[in-house]
Structure 1
Amino acid sequence: MASESPGLEAEVAESSTTKSRPPPSQGTPAKRDAFAELLAPKPKHPKQDRDGPSSLDSSTAKGKKRAVLGPRDGLGAYIARPDAYPANVVIYHNDDFVAVQDAFPKSTLHLLLLPRDATKTHLHPFDALADPAFLAKVKAETFKLRTLAAAELRRKYGRFSAQDKARQDALSADPPPDTLPPGRNWEREIMCGVHACPSMNHLHIHVMSVDRYSERLKHRKHYNSFSTPFFVDIEDFPLADDDVRRHPGREGYLKWDYVCWRCGRNFGNRFAALKTHLEEEFDEWKRL
């Protein structure tokens, strides 16, 4: 589970078991550009769907019986032995969580947060996140990772952004000012949540940029899984018992028309047209 992904702007409180990588200071990118390494293509892992067979990246698993430790169990290795992976795969880890890059990124920045609690990691997210104490812990760690992701978006796209111009100019000044302009709020450009039918067996929370611009986004299920109520924001938990998102198959979210996440334009079932449009939207979005 990993692929292109992010950078850092706020310190991450890592335990003594955490990989020895110095956290960035507040308001500045990390000295070691770990997220530049994270942008290299990584190995692929198929995915699953709670409503039935794998729904997102399962082409290699079709027609085969699920192995005891099959492709959908691929996240387990990162949870069990995060220290066995380089920094361009496992971003950080501590006693409770592992943060990795998604192997099939559906946006220009796509991370996964993996809880390590053995009593929760094999539960469906709707069940695991019904525990108030566990939910509070997951939300706190998700927001830490979101801050890192936002810093990476600024590193990647700040020089293009009109809202970030004053900040970029200040950073280039000699000497730079004591206080930097706040610039664009990149945290608003990060979405954090889970799928109503997770594509891997281990509990994971997606932390990703909103752009949905990636060569890995290849068909309707890929796009709609992140652009309809099939994607449940972490802030919406705990879910009410009668929340319709508990029944994604009945609601048919993955079969909805393609609707642009940014402008709302409906492309029906024209995926090629949507992809062209997403590229245009991405270029405009990063320049805001």
Structure 2
Amino acid sequence: MESNSQDQEFTAQTKKITGTTLDQQSPKPAKRDAFQELLSRKPKQQKQNQTNSSPPRSDLRQKRQVLGGPRDALGAYIARPETYPSNVVVYHNLDFVAIHDLFPKSTLHLLLLPRDPDKMRLHPFDAFNDPEFLTKVKTEVQKLRTLAAGELRRRYGKYSLQDRKREEALNSDPPPDELPPGRDWEKEIMCGIHAGPSMNHLHVHVISVDRFSERMKHRKHYNSFATPFFVNIEDFPLAEDDPRRHPGREGYLKRDFVCWRCGRDFGNRFTELKGHLEMEFDEWKRL
């Protein structure tokens, strides 16, 4: 169980960043971890009895019609974020919704969804041509990045050599008024968009660099986060002649697999890459 000082630190941080407390987002037992409430994925539920497990086919067809199909699935979070628990929707406000990616490609993978009706269905290359909107998105991305960095510290700080003095200070009795800075976990977070988005609604990925996930299953999954197909939010606005505007022509998704950390080229050997990523993840979290 995490120390009380860690919970208090994160609760204060969350209130400062999102303007709310965890208690305002959803009720929970008193002893549950604050990070767990905000940034942990919902555990799989047990199957219900067959008589209650599946809605009528007509209901399913109606739901698909409302959502507009799989590529429009993010729209449900934008429209009614308050209907989801805090381990699905991290937070929401008038302008943005932050959620867990349903199919994470790293150990931590969040999405920031703008709610501006004039922008939310545009390609990011077009949406981010508006300087005022781009500034607003960048500001909100930084808020979510800070939260994500805090979650990485909660998960992996106890393993990290750079965080050792900070962990020792946290576990001291009483802890010091000011903690050592420790590892800069924000540097372990990538924030950006795909040059060819797979979903219709504008979304920004806020994702840990490790690319270690059971949902990482094939070439497109890896190369969409390990090549220039992933465009850092800070690179916007893009120049008109930026080659990333033409991801198909550049062939980013068809490139050989190259380890994000050590640069080793695995060619087309995805299974070998997957085993290597697990090794790199274990070393990365211990830095």
TM-score by length of 1: 0.83
Deviations, residues 28-67 of structure 1 (Å, cap 9, x unaligned):
xx7463146426369xxxxxxxxxxxxxxxxxxxxxxx96
Task: Determine if the alignment matches structure 1 residue 124 to structure 2 residue 123.
Answer: yes
Gaps of 5+ in 1: 1-6, 23-29, 43-65
| Alignment match of 2:43 (pick from 40, 45, 53) | 40
Residue identity in the other structure for 2:275: T
Superposed counterparts of 1:250-261, under 5 Å? 250-261=249-260
Instruction: Output the CA distance in 2 between the equivalents of 1:277 and 1:33.
Output: 29
Q: State the partner residue of 1:173.
A: 172
Instruction: Output the CA distance in 2 between the equivalents of 1:112 and 1:126.
Output: 17
Instruction: Output the CA distance in 1 between the equivalents of 2:101 and 2:204.
Output: 11
Superposed counterparts of 1:96-115, under 5 Å? 96-115=95-114
Determine if contact 2:219/2:254 at 8 Å carries over to the other structure.
yes
Instruction: Output the CA distance in 1 between the equivalents of 2:91 and 2:140.
Output: 12
Task: Determine if the alignment matches structure 1 residue 280 to structure 2 residue 283.
Answer: no
Give the number of equivalent residue pairs. Answer: 252
Q: State the partner residue of 2:89.
A: 90
Deviations, residues 241-282 of structure 1 (Å, cap 9, x unaligned):
000000000000000000000000000000000000000000
Q: CA separation of 1:185/1:39 partners in 2, compared to 1, >3 Å: closer, same or farther?
A: farther
Instruction: Output the CA distance in 2 between the equivalents of 1:15 and 1:162.
Output: 33
Instruction: Output the CA distance in 2 between the equivalents of 1:197 and 1:128.
Output: 14
SS of equivalent to 1:282: helix
Superposed counterparts of 1:128-147, under 5 Å? 128-147=127-146
Instruction: Output the CA distance in 1 between the equivalents of 2:42 and 2:182.
Output: 24
SS of equivalent to 2:25: coil
The higher radius of gyration belongs to 2
Residue identity in the other structure for 2:24: S
Q: CA separation of 1:41/1:228 partners in 2, compared to 1, >3 Å: closer, same or farther?
A: farther
Identity of aligned residues (%): 67
Gaps of 5+ in 2: 1-9, 27-32, 46-63
Residue identity in the other structure for 2:207: M
SS of equivalent to 1:12: helix
Residue identity in the other structure for 2:230: F
Task: Determine if the alignment matches structure 1 residue 201 to structure 2 residue 204.
Answer: no
| Structure richer in helix, relative to its length | 2
Residue identity in the other structure for 1:244: P
Instruction: Output the CA distance in 2 between the equivalents of 1:185 and 1:39.
Output: 27
| Alignment match of 1:21 (pick from 25, 28, 36) | 25
Task: Determine if the alignment matches structure 1 residue 210 to structure 2 residue 229.
Answer: no
SS of equivalent to 2:112: strand
Q: CA separation of 1:182/1:136 partners in 2, compared to 1, >3 Å: closer, same or farther?
A: same
Instruction: Output the CA distance in 1 between the equivalents of 2:127 and 2:251.
Output: 24
Instruction: Output the CA distance in 1 between the equivalents of 2:98 and 2:152.
Output: 17
SS of equivalent to 2:277: helix
Q: After TM superposition, give the deviation of residue 20 of structure 1 in Å.
A: 2.1
Task: Determine if the alignment matches structure 1 residue 158 to structure 2 residue 157.
Answer: yes
